[in-house]
Structure 1
Amino acid sequence: MPTWRLRDFRDDDLDRAIQIWDQDRQTDDSPPVFPVSEVMAVARVGGPAVVAVVGDDLVGMAVAQAQGERAWITLVALAGNWRSRGIGSALIAELERRLRPQGIRRIGALLAPGATGTAALENSGYRARDGLVFYEKVEHLGASDAGLLAELGGRVQPVGLWAALAGMEREKETIERRIVLPLAEPALADRYGVAPPKAVILFGPPGTGKTSFARAVASRLEWPFVELFPSRLAAGSAGGLAASLRDTFHELAGLETVLLFIDEVEEIAGVRSGVAVDPGHGVTNELLKLIPGFRDHDDRLLICATNSVRSLDPAFLRPGRFDYVIPVGPPDAAAREAIWRRYLGRAADGVGLHRLVEASEMFTPADIEFAARKGAQAAFEREITDRQGTPADTEDYLAAIADTRPSLTEQALTEFREDIEHHIRM
C-alpha cells in the first residue's frame, strides 16, 4: 500500500486542493465558515498550510490562520479514499508544530457537525465547547463598491422578495431552475457540467411581472441590483446614447457582483434599419459589442425585458449572447387567485374570491394590485362618511375591477403565443 508524507503547500497544489474541498462539500449541506477563496488566500501568503501527498498526488490539506495568541484551523480536507488513516491528525499536529514558535496559546476550529476533520480534532485532544452560538453578518459590498453602486442608482434588494412572489408558479419554477439555482450553487453546477447563465431575456405583455422577477432574483442571490433605463442613457452624455451605454458598462466593471436589468430593451436593441446613419443602428451595435465583455466575468448577470421580443434585432437574439429567452405570461386562474390573496391580505377570507378571479380574467398582476387598492380605498372612503365599521366586500372589489382597464388584449395574447412559438429558448 502506498504511503503518504507531509510537505508545505505550493501554488501548483491549488487546483487539486479545491477538488478535495469540493468532494467534502458534496456530503455537507452547511456552508463553510471559512470560504475556500479565503482559505486559499491565507495559504498562498504564508499562513501555516500543510498538504499530504502520495507520490505526486495531493490527498489532504490543512490550513490555519494566526491572530495574536490565538489561531484558527480554517480547513481540514481529505480525499475520500484516504480518510480514517491518521492523515487528518498528522496534518493538525504539523500545524500545531508550526504555530507554537509564534506564541500561539489557543487553537480553535469551527466545523459543521460531522464535517471532515471532526474526528481528527477529537483524536488530537480538541474538545467541543458547549453553550456557544455562532453569529455572522456578511456585507455583500465593500465601501468602494457601495459608493459605485450608489452612483449607478443601484441597491441591494430587500431579503425575501423571491418568497413573496405570489402566483405565476410556472414562470417562477422555470426561472429558479434555469437562472437562480446554477448561480446559487456554482460548484454543484460545475460538477454536473451546467454553465451558470450570464444573460437572459424575459418577454411578455406589460405588467406580467418581468421587473418583479428580476428584482426577486437579485434578492434571492443577494446580489446588487442595477437597473439601466434606456430613456435616460443619453442625458448628460456628449457622445450620445451609444457613448453613454459604453460608459455605463465600463462603470459596472468596477463591481465584483451585479445583476444588471434593462427594461424595454427594444429601445436600444430594436431591429436595425440597415441604414448606417440611423441613430438606432449605432446603439444596437454598441450593445452587441458590450454583451460579450459583460459575459466574461463571473458573478454577473444581465436580464433584459421586453414586451415584444419580435421587435428585437435578430443578431441580439442569437445564441451565444443570451442563454435563455423565457416567456413571462399572463396569470391563469390559479395564479390570479394567489395574487388576489397576496394583495387582499386578511380581507381575502371575507370576499367571494372566485368571483374576483373570474372577473379579472384579462388582468395582469399589476392590474390586480391596482384593483385591490382601489376596492380598499372605496371601502375606506365609505367608512370615513358612515363610520359603520364595514370592511371592503366582494362588491367593492368587483366595482374596482369593472373600473380598471385590463392591460391584456386578445391581440397582445395572440402575439405573445406567436413569440413563444418562434423565440422561446429555455
Structure 2
Amino acid sequence: MTGWRIRDYHADDVDGILRLWEQMLAVNADPVYGLSDVLASCAKDHAVVAVVGDEVVGAAIGRAAHAQGWVVFLATAAHVNGTSIGSSMLAALESRMAAVGISKLSALMPAAAQARVGAFLQQGFALKQDLHYFERHIPVQREELKILAELGGRVLPRGLWDGVGGMNAEKDLLERRVVMPLAQSELADRFGVVPPRAIVLFGPPGTGKTTFAKAIASRLEWSFVEVFPSRLASHPGGLAGALRESFTRISELEHAVVFIDEVEEIASHRQGEPPSPTQGVTNELLKIIPAFREQPGRLLVCATNFIRALDAAFLRHGRFDYVIPIGLPDEQARWAIWERYIPDAAVDIDVRLLVEMTEGFSPADIEYAARKASQSALENAVSSGAEDPEGPFIEDYVAAISATRATVSAEVAKEFREDIETVGRL
C-alpha cells in the first residue's frame, strides 16, 4: 500500500486506535499496557498516527517520565507494510518527545509481537535479551535544540548514508577512515586509533561533497551545522569575529559535524601587503581548528572545488587528518544514480545506454538530465490528451542528456587527478 502519511493524533482517531487494538489481540499479542493506559496517553501524552486517506492504518503512542520516554503502543494494520510505517511512526514520535527533554526512549513488547520488532531495529533501537525490551538514546537533547536553532543547524534524518547511491569507493573510504573510528570510539581507543577531528573533501563541482558531509552526520546521528561565510560577513565583529563566535557556540553541543562548503573563500592563499581582510579570516580559522580538535565528539568537514586555492598552512598535518578526493562517478555509481531518478512508470529504459552516454557527468548533471527528461515526458503526456498516458520513454532521456552540458571539463578533470597525487591524504 502506498500513499500513507503520518500526522499527530486527533481525538476522532480513537475508533482507529480501537480497531488496531482489537487486531493486536486477535493475533494473541498480549499487550504490556492496557487499553485505558493507551487511550489516556493518546489524550495527554504523545501520539502519532499513519493514515491512508481518512483510514488510520497505524499508531505510535508514548509517554515521558522525566528524561525517560516509553513507547506504550505501536501497531499497524495487517494490510500495510508494518516495518516501513512502524519505523517512520517511531521516528515521528521520537522527534516530538525529544522536544520535552527525554534522553532515552524505550519499549517493552510481548514476545508474540514479532511483527513489530523490525520497526524498532530499523529505527536504531537495541534489542535486550529475555524480554523484547528496546531502548534508544536520543542523540540531541532539549537544551541543545535551542543552540542548534540559533546556529541554523539541524538533526538530519536517519538513513542518508544508506541513501548515497554508487560512489562505493569514496563511501567505503569514508566509512573506514572517518565513520568507524567515531562511531566506535571506545574500540578505536583500544586499538590505538585516534578518531579524526577534521577532514577536507575536494573535487570538481557537483560531485556530492555536501551529500557526503550530511550522510556522515546522519550515520553518526550527530547534529549537523553548516557554517556559511557569506552569512557571517554582516556580523558587527566582522567575519573573523563571527567565525570565532560560531565555533564557541558549537563547542556547547555534545556531538556535531560542522560543515564549511567552498572553504577557499575564507582559507585562500595569504599574500600581499598590508594584510587583506581575507587574510585575517584565514588566520582566525587557522587558530580555531587546533582548539576544535581538542574537543571530542566533533568533526569538521571542509569542502572545496578549488583545492589549489587553499593556503598551504591550512592543509598541513596536524590540522586535517585526511584530505579526501570526491571525483566523478564511475560506471557503477552512474548506474545507481540513474536508477534512483528513473520513475517506476518509465517504459523500457536501457539504463546501460544512459550510463554510457553520461560518462564524465557529475551526480548533479545526471540528476538535472533525469529531471529534464521527466518534465519533458509530463508535458508530452498532458498535450497528447491520452486518457492513460505512458512514459517517460528512452527518447526523453536521450534528448535530455544530449541537451545537458557536463559541469566538469576535461581540463578540470585532469587537474583533479593531479591534485589527488599532490595533496590527497588518505
- Is the TM-score greater than 0.5? yes
Distance in 2 separating the partners of 1:333 and 1:173: 16
Pair 1:169-2:168 in alignment: yes
| One-letter amino acid of the structure 2 residue matched with residue 350 of structure 1 | D
Q: Measure, in 2, the Cα distance between the counterparts of 1:197 and 1:348.
A: 44
SS at match of 2:273: coil
8 Å Cα contact 1:274/1:281 also seen in 2 = no
Tell me how far apart the structure 1 counterparts of residues 283 and 274 of structure 2 sit (CA, whole Å): 11
Instruction: Tell me, in whole angstroms, the C-alpha distance in 1 between the residues paired with 2:322 and 2:347.
Output: 39
1:422 deviates by 0.4
Query: 3-state DSSP class of the match of 1:194?
Result: coil
What's the C-alpha RMSD, in Å, of the aligned pairs?
A: 1.9
Structure 1 residue 172, shift from structure 2 partner: 0.5
User: Cα deviations across residues 226-251 of structure 1 (Å, max 9, x unaligned)?
Assistant: 0011211112x112111111111111
Deviates more, 1:275-284 or 1:415-424: 275-284
AA in 1 matched with 2:398 = L
**TM superposition shift of 1:277:** 2.8
- 2:221 & 2:154 partners in 1: Cα distance? 10
Q: State how many pairs are aligned.
A: 299
With over 3 angstroms needed to count, the CA separation of the structure-2 counterparts of 1:131 and 1:325, relative to structure 1, is closer
Report the equivalent of 2:354: 356
Shift in Å, 1:275 = 2.6
Please report the TM-score for the alignment, with normalisation by the length of structure 2. Answer: 0.68
The 5 Å alignment of 1:231-380 reads 231-235=230-234, 237-346=235-344, 350-380=348-378
2:236 partner letter:
A
Separation in 2, partners of 1:242, 1:351: 52
Q: 2:311 aligns to what SS in structure 1? A: coil
- For 2:217, give the aligned amino acid: A
- Partner Cα separation in structure 2 for residue 288 and residue 131 of structure 1: 53
- Give the counterpart letter for 1:314 in structure 2: A
Q: Quote how far apart the aligned CAs of 1:274 are.
A: 4.2
What are the within-5 Å matches in structure 2 for residues 100-111 of structure 1?
none
The Cα offsets for residues 263-285 of structure 1, whole Å up to 9 and x where unpaired, read as 00000000111434311110000
1:418 Cα deviation (Å)? Answer: 1.2
Check whether the contact 1:275–1:281 (CA below 8 A) recurs between aligned residues: no
Cα offset, 1:370, TM superposition: 1.1
| Within-5 A mapping of 1:150-165 | 150-165=149-164
Match in the other structure for 1:419: 419
Between 160-169 and 226-235, the greater mean CA deviation after superposition: 226-235
Q: Which runs of 4+ in 1 moved over 3 A?
A: 129-132
Greater C-alpha radius of gyration: 1
Give the 3-state SS of the residue equivalent to 1:392 in structure 2.
coil
Report the alpha carbon displacement of residue 332 of structure 1 after superposing the two structures with TM.
1.3
Identity value in percent: 55
Alpha carbons 2:161, 2:219 under 8 Å: kept = yes
Q: Tell me the CA shift for residue 338 of structure 1.
A: 1.1
Q: Which amino acid aligns with 2:189?
A: D
Gap regions ≥5 residues in structure 1: 1-66, 68-109, 111-128
Q: Which amino acid aligns with 1:352?
A: D
Could you tell me how far 1:132 is from its partner in structure 2? 3.6
Report if the CA contact (8 A) 1:158-1:219 is conserved: yes
Q: Which amino acid aligns with 2:370?
A: A
Q: Distance in 1 between matches of 2:181 and 2:166?
A: 23
Task: Check the 8 A contact 1:184/1:221 in 2, yes or no.
Answer: yes
In structure 1, what is the Cα distance between the partners aligned to 2:343 and 2:159?
Answer: 17
Q: Any conservation in 2 of the 1:375–1:392 contact (CA below 8 Å)?
A: yes
Deviation at 1:348, TM superposition (A): 6.7
Alpha-carbon contact 2:346-2:391 (below 8 Å) kept: no
* Deviations 1:13-61, CA, capped at 9 Å, x for gaps: xxxxxxxxxxxxxxxxxxxxxxxxxxxxxxxxxxxxxxxxxxxxxxxxx
Corresponding residue of 1:410? 410
Q: In the alignment, is the contact (CA less than 8 A) between 1:208 and 1:364 conserved in 2?
A: yes
2:397 is matched with 397
1:162–1:220 contact (8 Å) kept in structure 2:
yes
1:76-103 CA-partner distances (Å, limit 9, x unpaired): xxxxxxxxxxxxxxxxxxxxxxxxxxxx
* Match in the other structure for 1:136: 135
Partner of 2:217: 218
Contact 1:379 1:392 in 2 (8 A): yes
Change (3 A) 1:206 1:358: same
Contact 1:341 1:348 (C-alpha < 8 Å) held by counterparts: no
Give the alignment's TM-score, normalised by structure 1. 0.68
Tell me the distance in 2 between the aligned counterparts of 1:224 and 1:347.
37
- Residue matched to 2:205: 206
In 2, distance between residues paired with 1:395 and 1:159?
36
Asked if 1 retains the 8 angstrom alpha-carbon contact of 2:261 and 2:302, the reply is yes
Distance 1:349 1:184 in 2: 42
Structure 2 counterpart of 1:282, which letter?
Answer: G
Deviation at 1:424, TM superposition (A): 0.5
Q: Is the 2:347–2:391 Cα contact (8 Å) retained in structure 1?
A: no
Distance, in Å, in 1 between the alignment partners of 2:345 and 2:316 is 47
- Residues 168-197 of structure 1 deviation map (CA, whole Å, 9 limit, x = unaligned): 111001111110000011111111111100
Instruction: Provide the secondary structure at the position in 2 that maps to 1:162.
Output: coil
Q: Note the C-alpha offset of 1:140.
A: 1.5
Alignment correspondent of 1:60: none
Question: Is this contact kept in 2: 1:234–1:241, CA < 8 A?
Answer: yes
Q: CA deviation at 1:346?
A: 2.6
Specify the code of the residue in structure 2 equivalent to 1:397.
Y
Structure 2, unaligned runs of 5 or more = 1-64, 66-107, 109-127
1:162–1:217 CA contact under 8 A, matched in 2: yes
Shift of residue 259 of structure 1? 0.4
